[in-house]
Chains A and B, each alone.
Chain A
């Protein structure tokens, strides 16, 4: 047990030297909201949503990057804190195309604003991440509505020329998580902050589309963006979080074996996200994240095929399996097991590889088994 303590909302907690207020609070399930804070990256204190009141401090302090001192007395939801958070949320909501109909938006300018956003979105739907947005969550939690709905056009148009990813600057809150994910987690160094003040924009290279930069489309930035500023191109609008089911599994491409969630809608894989567990701790690469279309491809084989006169025809399982079994049997009994071979696959499961080698050895009676994976 650590000897030193602090108090959060009147309760005493121990802490390790160097810990932040946020870390201690989270460990004890005290919910301090965050937007810019990103696990595995240096805290920047950019968004200030995590502010807390500390007795004796002149201003509110950001919990994500303030280290704990012994005897500190912290309030995480005091009236001052709540007022500060409301203001931050309001400014963020007012700064872009956040047309998610948070409470209190029943005024006339709401309609003008919606029309403008629909025009810029090229869609008559609400924000593509409606229901899956940290800013919307916070606006709801603190019951905040935008102060003034800006109907002037967005400063930077949406970037839709890339494969995989749409960048919608009109919804960016400049939290910088994407920049940290790209530079500190994936270390692809493709994006950074560009321009100053109200002109601030996340830029790739010297402000080029992602596809013409060092971006390798790992999608880490999309996964960490708390709002709808970085969205997967496919399924934008058509895939809503609440319509999908997530199934955790292991990537089927390279040997890293990243843990991922397959998002399923109507018996189709429609999205893939990284799971925050070893070995990948949430990260994926372009193949693991965006290479899922083969599962649903119309070119998938659906029936056993038997070749006759150089052409394939469909067959039933019974017919195909009997044919294979009889042929194998005949060849084994005539020429011996060593006249046969089996190639297994690095893409099959352990269970399937096991069954295949058992079959080769116990039934075909040969050790002619190998896989192409060293090739």
Chain B
């Protein structure tokens, strides 16, 4: 997030899109709800489902799946036409404005209504509401990123924020909500194929030299590596021989699971390190038992870039060990000595090689976390990014055309399917499914369908149905819900039984490598 969680309550208008916030970021959603209910903030929700947050919204815009660039361009069209854009901000802090203006010209409210299904007058009203507010904050989540056009969607939201000057000040910002506790940290730490810590590019020779010196090695590769969505196909084709999977369960979370399973089975050597014998671990040649968060010392970085302490409360079961210990042992046994006495020592090394973490120490984190960038020990941390200038100097407008999603409904597969999470489960369920009461609230997979569609397909609440896409077929129970909008059904992806990802499309965003989990075409029928 460019801004903090608490900062959301300062906004005059909040635009939430592709985030079912009350279920996926429940405590963060309280800031949004309080702002709308008690502070008079205006709330605009743009989501294909009638999620809980729509009850607090002044506008709920309901776009067809995979039409985000179109409605965002539509808002910008109106803002420009009505001269509501922030000229000074654009002049001083951005570039590429003319190209943007040109591309959004054709996205008139009527044209956009044709693509998105959002009534033209709502596009106009929402555009005015967002642009005219003193401060505006944009919150988004995987409903924006998990598309073949995910990168375009994110850039479009940044366009909107820059056009309206809603950046770099309290109550503004473009704020992605990270789904898992330490996604932010995993990225900050260089758990990505193209960067070291703090997003220092691997392709930069100087960078490689710096890391070689820090680590006492030679020959670091300057060739960016493979994303997970490309690793699996390479495993399938035999180019990738070995995988070391730490704490992940791609056997439930990957798109097109049938293919993922074949790929993993194809490997010469699979090592899985986890706290449970997950679906993925079962395929492994060697399984290494790790300690969980309650059993270790360390830090997580939350969605607002706040680095916070993790502390040991109980001892790990049996022989299980800290993940860093296990990895260091493998390294040492391969001839590269990695001997850290504790997590604090590792953090000190991180601070040495990571400019944005350089000023952070365990001592400073004792009572409250710190927001990176925090370059020196005297630096108070940075709750709000881009207050003076953007990372690259000037903010770049990207002129972007809408492209349709990779798969569309047709006669054979007449319904759209979108996927996501429910409140009571988390990701692939390896943790939440161990709590009986959570399972009581969300025991199994289901398909959420609108009353009208249920009528159309002659389905009753609780019916067992089969849902099929071009890639696979699953059986789940019907839930008729107000959240669903006619023509689109929803299935949570947590469950290995009735796994939504047997159906989803592995078509990737060309830049981010993120699959289009949020759109595919399916058909539904009563199970035999």
Q: Give the B-binding residues of A (Cβ under 8 A).
A: 163-164, 184-187, 216-218, 233-234, 247-259, 262, 264, 267-269, 277-280, 283-288, 290-295, 297, 299-307, 312, 317, 320-329, 331, 335, 337-359, 361-363, 365-375
| Smallest Cβ-Cβ distance to A233: which chain B residue | B437
With a cutoff of 8 Å between Cβ atoms, the chain A residues found around residue B180 in the complex are 253-255, 346-347, 373
Question: B196 at interface (Cβ–Cβ under 8 A)?
Answer: yes
**Closest 7 pairs between A and B when the two form their complex, measured CB to CB:** A302-B318, A257-B302, A349-B298, A345-B247, A367-B225, A255-B178, A285-B26
> Which residues from A are CB-within-8-Å of B217?
362
Query: What chain A residues lie within 8 Å of B177 (beta carbons)?
Result: 255
Question: Which residue of chain B has its CB nearest to the CB of A262?
Answer: B313
Q: Which of A187, A253, A338, A374 has the most CB of B within 10 A?
A: A374
Nearest neighbor of B435 in chain A, beta-carbon distance: A293
| B190 touching A357, Cβ below 8 Å | yes
Q: How far does the alpha carbon of A290 sit from the alpha carbon of B423 in the complex, in Å?
A: 12
- The reply to whether the CB of B514 lies closer than 8 angstroms to some CB of chain A is yes
| Known interface pairs A325-B330, A370-B192; A277-B368 also in contact (CB < 8 Å) | yes
A353 in complex: contacting residue of B33, B186, B424, CB < 8 Å = B186
| Complex-state Cα separation, A337 to B223, whole angstroms | 11
Q: List 26 A-B contacts (CB under 8 A).
A: A163-B440, A185-B30, A186-B30, A255-B181, A256-B28, A257-B181, A257-B301, A290-B438, A292-B294, A293-B434, A294-B431, A300-B289, A300-B317, A317-B321, A320-B286, A343-B243, A343-B248, A344-B248, A347-B180, A348-B182, A355-B324, A370-B225, A370-B226, A372-B249, A374-B514, A375-B228
Whether B308 pairs with A342 at a CB distance below 8 angstroms is no
Which of B119-127, B272-280, B397-405 has 4 or more CB atoms under 8 Å from chain A? B272-280
Residues of chain B with a CB closer than 8 A to A286's CB: 26, 423-424, 438, 441
Interface residues of B in 281-332 (CB under 8 A from A): 281, 284-290, 292-296, 298-304, 306-315, 317-324, 326-331
Known: A325-B330, A340-B240, A351-B350; 15 extra A-B contacts, CB below 8 A, are A257-B308, A287-B424, A295-B295, A301-B277, A302-B289, A326-B333, A328-B269, A341-B244, A342-B243, A343-B243, A346-B182, A349-B296, A351-B346, A355-B327, A367-B225
A291 to B442, CA, bound (A): 13
Q: Is B274 in contact with A344, judged by CB distance below 8 angstroms? A: no
Instruction: Report the bound CA distance from A267 to B274 in whole Å.
Output: 21
Residue of B at shortest CB range from A234? B437
Contacts of B59 in A (CB 8 A): none
| Chain A CB within 8 A of B215 CB | yes
What's the Cα separation between A320 and B326 when bound, in Å?
Answer: 10
Instruction: For A358, give the chain B residue with the smallest CB separation.
Output: B215
The size of the chain B interface, using a CB distance under 8 A, is: 152
Q: Of the listed stretches B95-103, B250-258, B448-456, B460-468, name the one at the interface; the rest are far from the partner chain.
A: B250-258
CB pair A250–B300 under 8 Å, yes or no, is yes
Q: How far is the CA of A294 from the CA of B281 in the complex (A)?
A: 17
A319 to chain B: closest CB distance in Å? 10
Contact across chains for A340 and B242 when beta carbons are under 8 A apart: yes
Within the assembled complex, what's the spacing in Å between the Cα atoms of A369 and B34? 40
Cα-based distance from A157 to B430 in the complex (angstroms): 37
| Contacting residues of chain B (320-362) with chain A, CB-CB under 8 angstroms | 320-324, 326-331, 333-336, 338, 340, 343, 346-347, 349-350
Chain B CB within 10 A, most for which of A303, A321, A328, A356: A356
* A250 contacts B268, C-beta separation under 8 Å: no
- Shortest distance in angstroms between B479's beta carbon and chain A's nearest beta carbon? 16
Q: State A288–B38 Cα separation when bound (angstroms).
A: 26
A155–B208 Cα gap in the complex (Å)? 73
